[in-house]
Amino acid sequence: MAISRERKEELVASYSERLSRTDGFIVAEYRKMSVAQVGELRKRLRDGAGGSYVVTKNTLFAIALRETGWPVPDDLLLGPTGVVFGNGNLPKVAKVVSQYVKDFPDNFSFKGGVLGTAVFGSGDLETVSTLPTMDEIRAQLAGIIVAPAAQLAGLLQAATSQLVNVLQAYEDDRNKDAAA
């Protein structure tokens, strides 16, 4: 069944809007997925990683990619294609997709994806899923920033303690001399 021009424009706009909010996406092939399985994937992505899944029309998705400045992985946009959007947390989304592929190997397979400007293949899903999430990166950066301040505070506390000990010893020595 042919899609009207207006509907095509709506789809391209929808894909473009999703692409503007994501840090990357995963391209998957779906075969004979039931409505319940698609619902389960969407639930896992939404609840577990803040991602989303959309069945795409390849030619229209390629247009949206070009319009938004993303690389166009033409070799990945063949056959029945579903796109998983990272929505700011592609590594965590990749973990969910990796598990879903294991749970439904006959219905859902990973083709590749795009992270930033890099296109990656099907063998790289595990690598992407092991990248630190944004929260982990923020925690690491906070640790890097806070560590020197904590060390400085420790040094100042140690120096203060030593100064107090020296003054106390001096006072004790004066009191001993005064008593004698």
For the chain, what is the HEC assignment? CCCCHHHHHHHHHHHHHHHHCCCEEEEEEECCCCHHHHHHHHHHHHHHHCCEEEEECHHHHHHHHHHHCCCCCHHHCCCCEEEEECCCCHHHHHHHHHHHHHHCCCCEEEEEEEECCEEEEHHHHHHHHCCCCHHHHHHHHHHHHHHHHHHHHHHHHHHHHHHHHHHHHHHHHHHHHHHC
Same domain for 95 and 31: yes
Same domain for 93 and 143: no
State what percent of residues in the chain have pLDDT above 90.
Answer: 24
Same domain for 91 and 29: yes
What would the pLDDT profile of 140-179 be if each residue is shown by its tens digit?
777 777 777 767 677 677 767 776 777 777 777 777 777 6
What would the pLDDT profile of 96-134 be if each residue is shown by its tens digit?
888 888 888 888 888 888 888 888 877 776 676 666 666
Same domain for 120 and 48: yes
Same domain for 141 and 127: no
- For residue 15, give its domain range: 5-131
pLDDT, the chain, mean: 83
Same domain for 164 and 151: yes
- pTM > 0.75: no
